[in-house]
């Protein structure tokens, strides 16, 4: 991974970004990081968060944050609020989502029985497509071996599982963050991925961002990605000096300064 200072930024106009431990820091979004979002928005960048967080959160983010849309539940949907209307796009039908939630409930019960200390994430009631198992947000941190057990339970049931900085997210279906990014670009920006990739950058922090690190020509991580290097096959191309929201602020300032120079 190269240092962020080596990132060539003059072609960037489209920013996709993770939220937890990328924009947030120790469970909070501090003033510097939220201000950085506004500065990027006001500087003319197209800004789309891509998160494992649930539909209920994404409804608020799409409506109130300085963004052009939000991709949620690890690529299960995107919401976009424009011209007073909320647009919601899902890969799965209502019937598919309901059926999959019943199967996920069975996986949930097995995980909670087999992994003491794990818990269903507190935001699960807001979710429509996936199951989030908390391993350190509102519970005492679990060892890596227990996180692996959680992942194995999802895989044994035929589900996809991704590890974030706080949860293991599991779902049925073949969607992921990157597939929905491509769909968003096609539907909302009228861009093929080839064209979008020439002007896009992604910034994240954890293993569930790996599809983005792999497919973006320009991918960045805040410094806390170092904690997960052994879990990643595809590393980001660039890394910030700072962690979490401080790293995101560093990233934003770099892009804004470059835009002013050009």
Start-to-end CA distance of the chain, whole Å, equals 26
- pLDDT(211) > 70: yes
pLDDT band at 262 (very low <50, low <70, confident <90, very high): low
Mean local confidence (pLDDT), 182-199: 97
Mean local confidence (pLDDT), 164-179: 94
Give the model's pLDDT for residue 231. 84
pLDDT band at 219 (very low <50, low <70, confident <90, very high): very high
Sequence-separated (6 or more) residues with CB below 8 Å from residue 235: 1, 213, 221, 225, 229
CATH 3.90.1070.10 fits 94-171, yes or no: yes
pTM of the entire predicted model: 0.93
Mean local confidence (pLDDT), 76-85: 96
State pLDDT tens for residues 13-27: 999 999 999 999 989
HSE on the CB side for 112, CA within 13 Å? 14
CA dist 106 and 92 (Å) reads 20
Q: What six digits make up the tokens of 128?
A: 């429509």
- pLDDT(78) > 70: yes
pLDDT band at 118 (very low <50, low <70, confident <90, very high): very high
Share of residues in the chain with pLDDT > 70 (%): 99
- Residues paired with residue 170 on neighbouring β-strands, in sequence order: 131, 161
Q: Is 28 exposed, middle or buried (0-12, 13-18, 19+ CB in 10 A)?
A: exposed
Q: Where are the domains of the chain?
A: 2-91+175-261, 94-171
Architecture of domain 2-91+175-261: 3-Layer(aba) Sandwich (3.40)
Beta strands 200-204; 238-239: pairing state: unpaired
Mean local confidence (pLDDT), 29-58: 97
Question: What's the full length of the chain, in residues?
Answer: 262
- pLDDT(259) > 80: no
Place of tokens 């796009």: 89
Give the model's pLDDT for residue 208. 86
């Amino acid at each position: 991974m190269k240092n962020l200072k080596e990132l060539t930024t003059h072609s960037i106009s489209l920013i996709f970004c993770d939220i937890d431990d990328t924009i947030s820091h120790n469970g909070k979004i501090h003033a510097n990081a939220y201000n950085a979002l506004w500065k990027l928005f006001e500087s003319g960048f197209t800004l789309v968060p891509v998160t494992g967080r649930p539909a209920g959160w994404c409804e608020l983010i799409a409506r109130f944050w300085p963004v052009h849309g939000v991709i949620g539940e690890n690529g299960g949907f995107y919401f976009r609020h424009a011209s007073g209307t909320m647009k919601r796009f899902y890969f799965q039908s209502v019937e598919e989502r309901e059926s999959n939630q019943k199967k996920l409930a069975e996986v949930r019960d097995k995980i909670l029985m087999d992994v003491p200390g794990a818990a269903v994430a507190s935001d699960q009631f807001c979710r429509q497509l996936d199951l989030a198992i908390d391993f350190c947000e509102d519970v005492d941190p679990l060892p890596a071996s227990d996180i692996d057990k959680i992942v194995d339970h999802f895989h044994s049931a035929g589900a996809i599982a991704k590890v974030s900085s706080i949860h293991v997210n599991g779902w049925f279906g073949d969607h992921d963050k990157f597939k929905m990014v491509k769909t968003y670009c096609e539907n909302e920006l009228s861009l093929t991925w080839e064209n979008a990739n020439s002007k896009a950058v992604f910034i994240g922090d954890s293993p569930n961002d790996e599809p983005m690190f792999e497919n973006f020509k320009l991918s960045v991580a805040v410094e806390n990605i170092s904690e997960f290097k052994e879990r990643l096959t595809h590393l980001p191309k660039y890394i910030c000096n700072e962690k979490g929201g401080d790293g995101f602020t560093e990233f934003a300032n770099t892009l804004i300064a470059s835009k002013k120079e050009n």
